[in-house]
Amino acid sequence: MSSIGGFAAGIKNWIFASAAEVYGDVCGVATEEAPQRPVIPYGWLKLTVECLFAERLKTLSNHRIVILRIGEVYGRDGRRIRELTVRLKRGLCPWPGSGHVPLSFVHVDDVAQAFLCAARTAPTGISVYNVTDDMPVTWQGSFWRVAQLLGTKTSRFLARVLGSGLRAVQHLAHRATRN
């Protein structure tokens, strides 16, 4: 059900799974009040939906919208770690940017707990919560640790333009080989 249809149907409680990518490249720790300056389309998309919910709430009373800005989720069947493992084992794992951007991982079970907590305790109005662990690392640090555990070389970090171009080519190649 779309949010417009949901509001029309009288649904008053919403929880939106947003992403830490709404903050963009952050130096240090981003709190819920930090400026939102996404640098990737995924971050822009999440921020756009957040803004649509906030705008809609202005016309309604007695509604509750909870925005959970979720960090890098990991768990037993997580895509990100699996993808990183495959790339490192292949020996080619370039990544856009400097690698010094901090991030926080969060286990999938903790994300589920955040949803339950939000459903039970969030106040009326709009609430924003970051859902992360308390041990921020850099992309470079996390890649180094995974490479160390796998016994492989670590990734190379590329200038943003080169890295984004390479990821676009990889994405197109993946789509072409799936058909």
Task: Report the SS3 class of residue 172.
Answer: helix
Both tokens of residue 159? 């200038």
Task: Please report the DSSP string for 46-73 in residue order.
Answer: HHHHHHHHHHHHTT-SS-EEEEEEE-EE
pLDDT, residue 112, reads 96
Segment (H or E) for 4: helix 3-8
First-to-last C-alpha distance (Å) of the chain: 30
pLDDT by residue, tens only, the chain of 179 residues: 556 677 778 888 999 999 998 998 777 788 999 999 988 889 999 999 999 999 988 888 889 999 999 998 888 777 777 777 787 787 766 665 666 667 788 999 999 999 999 999 999 999 999 999 877 777 777 777 778 888 887 766 555 555 555 556 655 665 666 64
What is the predicted pLDDT for the residue at 17? 97
Domains and CATH numbers, the chain: 3-178 (3.40.50.720)
DSSP labels, 116-132: HHHHHHPPSEEEEEEE-
Nearest to 123 by CA among 39, 12, 1, 9: 12
Enter the pTM of the model. 0.73
At 98, phi and psi to the nearest 5? -80, -20
